[in-house]
A and B are shown apart, each in its own frame.
Chain A
Amino acid sequence: KQEVTQIPAALSVPEGENLVLNCSFTDSAIYNLQWFRQDPGKGLTSLLLIQSSQREQTSGRLNASLDKSSGRSTLYIAASQPGDSATYLCASTSGTYKYIFGTGTRLKVLA
Chain B
Amino acid sequence: NAGVTQTPKFQVLKTGQSMTLQCAQDMNHEYMSWYRQDPGMGLRLIHYSVGAGITDQGEVPNGYNVSRSTTEDFPLRLLSAAPSQTSVYFCASSYEAGVGNEQFFGPGTRLTVL
Which residue of B has the minimal Cβ distance to A103?
Answer: B42
Interface: A93 (CB within 8 A):
yes
Q: How many CB-defined contacts (below 8 Å) exist between A and B?
A: 65
CB 8 Å contact bits of B21-52 with A (1 = contact, 0 = none): 00000000001010100001111110010100
A residues near B45, Cβ cutoff 8 Å: 98-100
Q: CB distance A34 to B42 under 8 Å?
A: no
Interface: A78 (CB within 8 A): no
A46 at the interface (CB under 8 A from B): yes
**Which residues of the partner chain A approach B50 to less than 8 Å between Cβ atoms?**
97
Contact between A51 and B40, CB atoms less than 8 A apart: no
Q: Which chain A residues in 59-111 approach chain B with CB under 8 Å?
A: 89, 91, 93, 95, 97-104
A1-45 residues at the B interface, CB under 8 angstroms:
31-32, 34, 36, 42-45
B33/A46 in contact, CB under 8 A: no
- From DSSP, what is the main secondary structure of chain A's interface residues? strand
Kindly specify which of B12-20, B62-70, B79-87, B96-104 makes contact with the partner chain: B96-104
A43-B90, A103-B41 are contacts. A34–B102 as well, Cβ < 8 Å? yes
Interface residues of A toward B: which range?
Answer: 20 to 34
Contacts of B107 in A (CB 8 A): 42-43
Cβ A44 vs Cβ B105 within 8 A: yes
Select B43's contact among A42, A95, A101, beta carbons within 8 Å: A101
Is B75 in contact with chain A by the CB < 8 A criterion? no
Question: Whole-angstrom distance from the CB of B97 to the nearest CB of chain A?
Answer: 4
Give the distance in Å from the alpha carbon of A95 to the alpha carbon of B40 in the complex.
26
Known contacts A31-B99, A32-B99; decide if A89 and B42 are in contact (CB<8 Å). Answer: yes
Chain A residues near B (Cβ < 8 Å): 31-32, 34, 36, 42-46, 49, 51-52, 89, 91, 93, 95, 97-104
Other A-B contacts than A32-B100, A89-B42, A103-B42, 12 sampled, CB-CB below 8 A, are A31-B98, A34-B103, A36-B105, A43-B105, A44-B105, A45-B105, A46-B103, A46-B104, A52-B99, A97-B31, A97-B56, A99-B97
Measured CB to CB, the residues of B under 8 A from A are: 31, 33, 35, 40-45, 48, 50, 56, 58-59, 90, 92, 97-108
